[in-house]
Structure 1
């Protein structure tokens, strides 16, 4: 049996791992202290675990060429959406940009319900904005929260 991943998924997972290791190396080289690594180390561990789960969940799966192309197009669309999120958060606020990014991301990934994406997006945005506001000592540009 082999692992069947779309090429775009494999590239994304490899980039995620490379960036995770690079950020940890940079943070540890800057200052090896609890305050410097309190968010980065658990997030990095979670990223590594999630990459492993994704890779092992694809073990032995068969995928046709059409499905691979559809996934690649979806990946590119999500990447473009993320670029829009990063570019817009300073103009419309972190909270509003996060709300629309999560909502559209859920819809792009296949959710067809009319009420679940905006509800989840609202709860997620409120939680993340509140948590980041409490964790970080600098103000984030927000519009609603």
Structure 2
């Protein structure tokens, strides 16, 4: 997870890095951050370091753009509780991105919670529930500078 945003430079033609990093997808232009404890709205420290790396790469190579942040939960808990928790996760994540230095040239679009409405794994196993407790970062109209032109 330490090479979180390498896909950013690959997707947008910046040749600064050579590997596609987890937890990002170049096809979907998003990063998925997992690591929330059950009923938790704050990330573990290892995931916080991933946020720092994402921000570093955005600030270093990005010109501008809009970032959407969508929070998710597993299906434990009530629908109302999960919607509120997932929204809190998304808002906390946006605050952390600014706290860790995301440049003002990037704005936030949607910051919302989906609750357990969009699982990516089964909630029948602990690992599946862990995978569903996540925040997704969508990079909309984010422009990147080509490092080779410098």
TM-score, L = length of structure 1: 0.28
Counting strand residues as a fraction of each chain, which structure ranks higher? 2
The structure with the larger Rg is 1
Which structure is higher in RCO with an 8 Å CA cutoff and minimum separation 6?
2
Counting helix residues as a fraction of each chain, which structure ranks higher? 1
TM-score, L = length of structure 2: 0.27
